[in-house]
Amino acid sequence: MALYSEKVMDHFRNPRNVGVIENASGVGEVGNAKCGDIMTMYLQIENDIIVDVKFETFGCGSAIASSSMATELIKGKPISEALQLTNKAVAEALDGLPAHKLHCSVLAEEAIKSALRDYYDKNGIAYDASLFPAEHCCEDCH
């Protein structure tokens, strides 16, 4: 069996939504010093809908694929749906990630939630802090 699924390879070779959104509604940057992956997510939000999303990722192929897939999963969706996105959903949409690369999907989830928290903060919108767990990465990062 191949280490990476065809979907992972496709999103790595042909990432969707790469770039920067100038004057984004929300920007989130997360990283992990152990593995070296850094992700920045940019959201453009209108009427509680994510009308555009872009990312910049410095990291391995799994990190790029996870970022790309995560943007595809939330683009055009209401904020409420984006807040429900989990790293498990990202990994499943990629037809799985090797165990030692699951932290990449965790970072993608955290980057989106960080951008949404930034959007709420910029606009003075109250939110439930429990929706935004402390940013971290799993122990098997290396």
Catalytic residues: 35, 104
Structure tokens at 96: 């799985």
- Exposure of 50 by Cβ count < 10 A (0-12 exposed, 13-18 middle, 19+ buried)? buried
Count Cβ neighbours within 10 Å for each residue of 102-113 and write b for 16 or more, e otherwise.
bbbbbbbbbbbb
Amino acid at 13: R
Determine which helix (DSSP H) or strand (DSSP E) holds 104, and give its type and residue range.
helix 102-122
